[in-house]
């Protein structure tokens, strides 16, 4: 079967590259993937499938039925949205939409899954069970397209026993594959703080309640939550990316506005973290005569890779690409909305290497110079088809 899939992967690779380039040139922001969804549905229809459109508005779902289609179902997921970034690459497939760019490889994920669909459709008489294809919107934006797709029943009718997701990796050489069992990516919550005091002339500090000094103490003090309150074995970060204190040299403002992110890999600690952050920020502000409003916007949960499923997928990938092309992934405190699926169904989120140093393809995700080595678009579709079939065979 591997050789059959590899041969089919060679035949779909050129289409996968063309599809990826089309999507790359025509990116759409989170939850606005209308043309992308139409494009995906058209491709799936051309293959011979009957896609369901409009799931969570711009999501597309399709089922490839093998023999005895109800016996076992495996789901495969690709995300479709782009980012508000202005592309700096000078390539023929450069984004034609000003200020919008596929800078996280979701174009490649979508093109790869279309390729996988092509391969699996041609093999439908050779396997038992069904493969559910999930093309989801809005990975980059809270509340996450995955959570909306789940609400609209993507994990029902039929219920998948396992779910696989693939993401490009700019730090892994092209076509090498990365796996990690268990905890892999972090929960992500957004913090919005408003520190309130009493502004005035900088020469008369005794008449002020200086919100800038209070905010400074809060920013320093909150690191206690990470360095003292958190169990050292429990990965967690607290970072601030925006502080606005809009006074001038001699005018202290009334308020300071702070934004940050809190990430971890433990739901209990996550809630305790929220409580401690809130209490400490308010306590410091009050002790200094001011006040602090704390708003925490709950983001994605942490992503856990089901250990046995991940071990099986890793073994299957080793058979497909060779042991020298399978690597271990480190914990990564970025967020990923595939985490929502991983909380409900046995899931494995793995990485597809897209780096090529010799060709200068080294920029990270979410940068204006991000690109991929498209050789990965032969490995990606074939490997995912193979992993799905191996998982269907598993009893």
Q: Which residues are catalytic?
A: 81, 139
Stretch of 9-17, 85-93, 100-108, 189-197 contacting Ni ion, by CB under 5 A? 100-108
Q: How far is CA 60 from CA 56, 181, 202, in A?
A: 9, 28, 58
Q: Least CB distance from residue 317 to Ni ion, whole Å?
A: 20
Q: Is the peptide bond before 214 cis (omega within 30 degrees of 0)?
A: no
Candidates 99-107, 170-178, 298-306, 347-355: pick the segment binding Ni ion (CB under 5 A): 99-107
Based on CB atoms, which residue is closest to Ni ion, 122 or 188?
Answer: 188
For Ni ion, the binding residue among 49, 103, 104, 333 (CB under 5 A) is: 104
Closer CB to Ni ion, residue 37 or residue 146? Answer: 146
Question: In angstroms, what is the minimal distance from the CB of 376 to Ni ion?
Answer: 14
From residue 111, give the alpha-carbon distance in Å to each of 20, 37, 63, 83, 197.
5, 12, 17, 17, 53
Size of the residue set binding Ni ion (CB under 5 A): 1
Q: How far out from the chain centre does Cα 320 lie? A: 25
Sheet holding 177-179, edge to edge: 52-55, 59-65, 130-136, 73-79, 162-173, 347-355, 177-179, 326-328
Closer of 142 and 243 to Ni ion (Cβ): 142
How far is Cα 11 from Cα 345, in angstroms, rounded to an integer?
32
**Of residues 370, 324, 380, 347, the one with CA closest to residue 167:** 380
Site residues (CB under 5 A) for Ni ion, limited to 147-206: none
- The CB-nearest residue to Ni ion is 104
Near Ni ion by CB under 5 A, which window of 101-109, 110-118, 169-177, 272-280? 101-109
**Nearer to Ni ion among residue 104 and residue 345 (C-beta):** 104
C-beta closer to Ni ion: residue 191 or 303: 303
User: Min. distance of Cβ 291 from Ni ion in angstroms?
Assistant: 38
Name 77's bridge partners.
134, 165
Radius of gyration over every alpha carbon of the chain, rounded to an integer in angstroms = 24
In the block, tokens 């009334």 appear at: 254
DSSP 21: H
Q: Smallest distance, Å, CB 43 to Ni ion?
A: 21
Least distance from Ni ion to the Cβ atom of residue 105, Å:
6
Residue for token pair 């993401």 = 167
Q: Is 352 in the site for Ni ion (CB under 5 A)?
A: no
Stretch that binds Ni ion, among 54-62, 104-112, 155-163, 372-380 (CB under 5 A): 104-112
Residues lying near Ni ion in the complex (CB under 5 A): 104
């Amino acid at each position: 079967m591997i050789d059959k899939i590899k041969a089919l992967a060679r035949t779909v690779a050129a289409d996968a590259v063309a599809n990826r380039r089309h999507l790359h040139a025509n990116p759409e922001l989170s939850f606005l993937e209308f043309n992308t969804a139409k494009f995906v549905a058209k491709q799936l229809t051309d293959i011979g499938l009957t896609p369901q459109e409009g799931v969570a508005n711009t999501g597309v779902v399709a089922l490839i039925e093998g023999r005895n289609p109800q016996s076992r179902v495996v789901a495969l997921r690709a995300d479709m949205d782009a980012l508000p970034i202005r592309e700096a690459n000078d390539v023929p497939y450069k984004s034609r939409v000003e200020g919008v760019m596929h800078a996280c490889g979701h174009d490649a994920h979508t093109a790869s899954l279309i390729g996988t669909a092509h391969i699996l459709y041609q093999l439908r008489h050779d396997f038992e069970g069904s493969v559910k294809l999930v093309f989801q919107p809005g990975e980059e934006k809270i509340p996450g397209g995955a959570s909306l797709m789940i609400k609209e029943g993507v994990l029902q009718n039929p219920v998948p026993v396992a779910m696989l997701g693939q993401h490009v990796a700019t730090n892994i050489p092209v076509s090498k594959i990365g796996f990690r069992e268990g905890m892999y990516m972090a929960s992500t919550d957004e913090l919005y703080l408003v520190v309130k005091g009493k502004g005035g002339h900088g020469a008369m500090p005794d008449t002020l309640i200086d919100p800038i000094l209070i905010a400074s103490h809060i920013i320093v003090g909150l690191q206690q939550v990470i360095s003292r309150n958190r169990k050292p074995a429990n990965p967690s970060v607290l970072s601030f990316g925006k502080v606005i204190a809009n006074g001038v040299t001699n005018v202290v403002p009334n308020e300071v506005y702070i934004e940050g992110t809190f990430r971890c890999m433990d739901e209990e600690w996550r809630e305790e973290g929220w409580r401690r952050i809130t209490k400490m920020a308010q306590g410091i502000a009050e002790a200094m005569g001011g006040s602090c409003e704390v708003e925490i916007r709950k983001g994605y949960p942490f992503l856990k890779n089901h250990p046995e499923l991940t071990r099986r997928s890793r073994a299957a990938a080793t058979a497909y690409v060779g042991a020298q092309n399978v690597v271990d992934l480190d914990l990564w405190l970025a967020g990923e909305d595939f985490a929502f699926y991983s909380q409900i169904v046995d899931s494995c989120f793995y990485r597809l290497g897209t780096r090529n140093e010799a060709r200068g393809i080294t920029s990270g995700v979410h940068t204006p110079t991000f690109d991929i080595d498209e050789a990965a678009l032969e490995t990606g579709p074939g490997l995912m088809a193979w992993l799905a079939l191996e998982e269907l065979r598993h009893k």
